[in-house]
Structure formats: C-alpha cells, structure tokens
Chain A
C-alpha cells in the first residue's frame, strides 16, 4: 500500500527527482573527469536541463498533491518550472565562454546551477511551510556559492559573503514568521491553513507572522526596502552569474510569493494587500531613481530589476486572476529581455579585458551595429515603449490594477516607468551618439549571438503572436481560482 502511494508521489514529483539524480550524476562525472572537462560538463548540464523541461511538460496534470501534501503540482508550478529551467539553460549557454576566459570555469559551476534550479522548482511547488523553507535554502545556498565562485577576486568573495549574511538574516525572518503562523494556527500545510483562515478567526499573531514572511520573500525578490544587497551582489558576482541571479531565482521567488499569498493566505487579502502595495511602490521608486546615478551597467541592471519586481508585485497586490496572469506574462518577458541584455554585457570586452561601465558602450553602433540594435531593443522594451514585449507586460499588470480599483498604484507605476525610461534611453544615447577611442572586441562566440538574436526576436515579435504565452499564463493563473 505504502509502496503504491510512494510510486504515485514519485510520478508527481518526477521532474524534481530526475533533476536531483541528474545533478548528482553530473557531479560524479565532473569529479572523475576534473576541471579540464568543465566545458563538457556544462554542455551535458544543458542537455540534462532540457530533459527536465521535457519531463515537466509531460507531467503537467491538473492539481495533484504528493508526499502527504508537502508538494503540489498544478498548472502554475509547471509553467514557472519551465521558465526556471529555460533561464538556467540560457545562463549556462552564455556563461561558458566568459568563465573560461577568466579562468574560473569549474565543473562545479553547472552542477550548482542545476541544484539551484532544483531548489527553484521545489519553491514553486511547495505546499507546506517546511517545504518552502527547505526549497528556499537549497536555492539560496547554491546561489551564495555561485556568487563567490571567483574566490581569488576581492569583489566576488565580497558579493558572496554579503549575499550569504543578508540571506541568512532573511531566512531567520522567514522562519520566525513561519513559527508564529504555525504557533497560532497549529498547522504548516497550506490547504489546512486556508481552511483555518476561511473560518474567519484571525489572530494578531498570524498577521505578525505573515508580515515577517512577506519581508523575507521581498528580500528574495529584492523588493524595496529589502533590496540593499542587490546592487553590490550584482556588481561583484561574475557577469554570467549575475545574469542567472537576475532571472531564474527572481522567477522562482515571485512564484513562491504568489503561491504563499494566494494559496494559504488568500482569505487574508485585507491584511497583506497594503503591505504588497507598499513594497511595490517602494520598489518602483527605488528602481527608477536609484539607477539614474549609476555608471556600472551591472549595478544599473540591478536597480532596473528592483523596479521590475515592483511592477510585477502590482499584479499580486490586486489578488485577482488577471493580476496573477499579468505577473506570469511579465516574468516571462522579463526573462527574455534580461537574458538578452546580459548576453550583450557578457560580450563586452576590450582587448580581452572585461569592461562593464556604461561609457564603454560608446560607439557600439558603429563597431557592432547588430549588437547595438539588439541592446536598443532590450532597453526600449524594458522602458515599456510599444509595441515591444516590455510594454505588453506592463500593460497587463496595469490593466489588472485598474480593474481591481487600485488606480493610485497604476498611476505611480506609469510615472515611475517614465523616470526609468530616462536611464534606459541614456544607454541608447551612449551607444549611438558618443564617440569612443577603443572598440569592443569582435570575436564573440556563436552561441552568444544566437541567444542575443533569439531574445531580441522574441522581444520584438511577441506582440505579433502573443496568444500561446498569454493562454498558457491564463491556465497557470487559473490554478489558484479553480475550485476543486
């Protein structure tokens, strides 16, 4: 009997189990082949992660619980898992060459990326407070190590240490909030929690615990005022790893945020809505104004990602199906734009030195017209200029806010995106109108070109044929509102 149940559980969580086994097998392979074969390990990791996408795709069923309600499989988690896996694949593709040139390509890198991806998949599938904690720790621990992977450079170790200490702080807050919620409700299971809150009994202790949990989750998505670590970590970590931080973990953390707010605490929307609105406004404002004075492009993109998280949270603040669908679409488009922009930063090197100042982009339009055009597309799209993808992403979340009656939030969102447009367009100005003495190197690996071309085509072409993604996001968002 138990054996049968376990088989069903294994079937439900098969993509995760597959990824865990695959990463361990890859680790063994890497250990036996040594650092000389790190490139090969990276390639194998890409193939294994593609296998993960296949299994997630095969496995999507309507809501299924596994492992005594600790794990939940639904349309929402499947969609976000595919996003996280794609983010990891793209990161691995654009990073191999860069890390090799910097002599910091080690076979542990792809293994850690895979383990972090496993943590992300567990995050979006968590259906219990303890599963949330385990998944968050698995993902974050891998990320701390990745941030410090260039251990011989001062900046990378500083980034890793900073991330680790602040991450430990946020874990503490998460656990404290969870312990309060558990203490005042008597259960950690999301479904049971939802039942407890349905009855209408609400204790102040629950609200305190909920606020602590929101603070910890806001830290993970780098929402203001819990964003302080982001610019330093983004600047210090090697660029491909920064690219990874900017997409996969963000998607997973937003997914977890939605899951925690909409599953167990859905009936307490009156309690958390104002907190989310506050974080959303603060993030948009910090993202817009913080980036203006930056000279390092990685720091600029860090502030930009803080702002993007603010826009995504607008959708969560509505608490409606349209809002959740808006976030899912937004995160999909954000992934494409960010990976593209980071691929261009990775390609930025002058006489084999890595450069990351905005002024280094000067003259790009003359030396690399295609690359400059792609960067311009990403910047215009991030600024939300129609008809590019970023505009549609913003449109959906703002529409959901207006429909939910949150006019103030939508107005602040539009205003801050006007401010943010300044620094996005400044990059375009530097590329097209500034003169430069030194040109950016021409020899780029082909895979980088492929990623840049693919993501810019996606960003431009999304408005022509958006229906598959919008339909899939609709199905994913529906899993919170479809009463069984």
Chain B
C-alpha cells in the first residue's frame, strides 16, 4: 500500500464515519462538531486528488465560516430537537419517496446514462496537464488578468452586501454607557469635586 492510498483510506473512513455520526448523534452540538470533522477529512481527500485550492477553500469556507455559523445558531437558538423528532412517523412516506427518487437517479448515473450522444459531440474543457502549474497558480494567473472585470464586479457585490447588512441591522442605541478616554483625561478636579462644609447637626440641608 502506497502512502497516498494509506491516507486515502484513513481520510475516507473518518469522513464516512463522522458523516454517520452527524445524523445519528443525539446532541446537536456533537452533530456540528462531527460535521466539521467530516469537512476537514474531505479536504484531506481533495489534497490527495491534487486539488489543493479546493482543499483549502473547503477548510477555510466550510470549517472556518459555515460550520462555526452552524455551531452558533445551534447554541443560540436552543432548538428542542426531541420535539422536532415527534412528527417523524408522519413524514416517513415523503422521506422514503425522496429517497427512492434519489436511488433511481443514482442507478441512472451509475448505469452510464447521459445526455451525450455521438451525433452531437460536446465541447469539454481539457483538464490541466500533470506537469502544468498548480491549481492555485493557474487560478491566480487568470483571476487578476483575464477575469479582472468579474473579480471587481464580485467585489462590488460584497460591498453592497456589507452596506446592506449595516443598513438593515445597525441601531444607534440610546443610553449606552461607553468609555470615552479623551473625556476621562480632560476631567479636572475643580469641575468634578466640590467641597461642601456641613455644619454639625444640620446635614445637607434637606437635599438628600
């Protein structure tokens, strides 16, 4: 067994096992943690397949952002999963039929049925040769030259998303006590401390 094969089996086994654990564990937090494990191992699988860019993307986007988001949602919403499961018996027929459709589709795919036929050849982009530049290099070399227009356009979309998030959620709250350092430094003793002579037996003169 070569080293890539060895790692492939390790990654693949852990991916499948943690995927099973995602749907079978009772605690939703555990499910999300297993999901992260599955993502990490599948990014290992991508590494073995030579798609290092995709592997890093999976690790950064799915593990770094999506899974953490899931974790937060699960922890903050405090969903009662036991109650969600109560209606299971009712939805079994729907679930079973969806499963059956997916099974048929899988059989069709594995049975090599395709849209492609000999009369109408289809143009398919050729994969990059083994000795060529790496994925990341190849993407980088066209992203900022050939596709700079789209890259900048995507940047504008992200800007709109950011403005939108701020417009729709940011609220100026009244009465929030914030620390203001300049104000603290600018305070003078004369302005803030007042010496009052209190005669014995009279107190503050009824002001308290």
| A13: chain B residues within 8 A (beta carbon) | 149
Contact B150 A138 (CB under 8 A): no
Partner of A108, one of B147, B161, B167: B167
Contacts A68-B146, A145-B167, A203-B120 known; A134 to B115 CB distance under 8 Å? no
- Check B160 against A184 for contact (C-beta < 8 Å): no
Q: A106-B167, A148-B168, A184-B122 are in contact. Are A131 and B115 (CB under 8 A)?
A: no
Band of interface residues on B? 20 to 34
By beta carbon, the residue of chain A nearest B152 is: A20
Q: Among A111, A130, A151, A204, which residue has its beta carbon within 8 angstroms of that of B168?
A: A151
Interface members, chain B 111-166 (any A CB < 8 Å): 115, 120, 122-125, 145-150, 152-154, 156-157, 159-161, 163-164, 166
Chain A proximity of B202: nearest CB distance (Å): 50
CB neighbours of B146 from chain A (8 A) = 68
**A265 adjacent to chain B (CB < 8 Å):** no
Chain A residues within an 8 Å CB radius of B152: 20
Asked whether, in the complex, the Cβ of A134 is within 8 Å of the Cβ of B154, the reply is yes
- CB A24 to nearest CB in B, in angstroms, measures 7
Q: How far is the CB of B42 from chain A (nearest CB, A)?
A: 22
- Distance in angstroms from A366 CB to nearest chain B CB is 41
CB distance from B112 to the nearest CB of A (A): 17
Q: How far is the CA of A66 from the CA of B150 in the complex (A)?
A: 12
**Considering the chains assembled together, what is the distance between the CA atoms of A358 and B91 in angstroms?**
46
B161 and A141 contact, CB distance less than 8 A: yes
Instruction: State the Cβ distance, B164 to closest chain A Cβ, in Å.
Output: 4
Given A145-B168, A186-B123, A201-B120 in contact, is the A112-B115 Cβ separation under 8 Å?
Answer: no
Name the B residues within 8 Å of A27 (CB-CB): 163
B130 to chain A, nearest CB (A): 22
Could you pull out 10 A-B pairs where Cβ atoms are within 8 angstroms? A24-B159, A27-B163, A142-B160, A142-B164, A144-B164, A145-B167, A160-B168, A185-B123, A186-B125, A205-B115
Mark B residues whose CB is within 8 Å of A. Answer: 115, 120, 122-125, 145-150, 152-154, 156-157, 159-161, 163-164, 166-168
- Chain A residues engaging chain B, CB cutoff 8 angstroms: 2, 6, 9, 13, 20, 24, 27, 66-68, 70-71, 106, 108, 111-112, 115, 118-119, 122, 130-131, 134-135, 137-138, 141-142, 144-145, 148-149, 151, 160, 183-187, 196, 201-205
